[in-house]
Amino acid sequence: MPAAGSPTSVAPVDAFELPAWIGEETVTWVAEDSLGAGHLVHGTLHGPTETTVCDVLAGDHAYPSAALDDVLRRDMHQTWSLGQVLLLAYDERLTLAAPGRVVDADLALESVRRFAKAVGAPPRRFSVTLRL
């Protein structure tokens, strides 16, 4: 049984397998949780006519349980060092994994900017709504 707060499943996601509208339409990522208080912020991507879940994860969080195993954490750091963001299915929810222990405004914005690039969209087509 996973430790409290641990995901039940984590798997890589290929950006090319995401719905096409994410890379083709104007998209807003809306945070459903407040920022600055935890390592996982649930959110939703909103297009003109469609929505899908998309969370931001601070993958270096380690207590009381690790957010990611060592292999995925290394992959996250490698991906970030290349100017990209690691895409995961974290408890079956699309999740942007970024280095850090807490998701703050800077980490959320940069993660979404890198996500836009991952789906082949200019970052200017993405906007972000945060909760304080």
Residue at 28 is within a domain? yes
In a domain, 48, yes or no: yes
Q: Among 34, 59, 29, which Cα is nearest to 45's?
A: 29
pLDDT given at position 7: 74
In percent, how much of the chain has pLDDT > 90?
Answer: 92
Confidence (pTM): 0.93
Structural domain includes residue 4: no
Whether residue 2 is contained in a domain is answered as no
Domain of 87, in residue numbers = 10-131
Residue 132: its pLDDT value, please? 86
Q: How confident is the model at residue 5 (pLDDT cuts 50, 70, 90)?
A: low
12 phi and psi, to 5 degrees?
-65, 150
How many Å apart are CA 14 and CA 120, to the nearest integer? 12
- Does residue 61 have a pLDDT over 90? yes
Q: What is the pLDDT of residue 4?
A: 45
pLDDT score recorded for residue 3: 43
Instruction: Look at the alpha carbons of 63, 34, 82, 79 in this order and tell me if their dihedral is positive or negative.
Output: positive
Q: Name the domain count of the chain.
A: 1
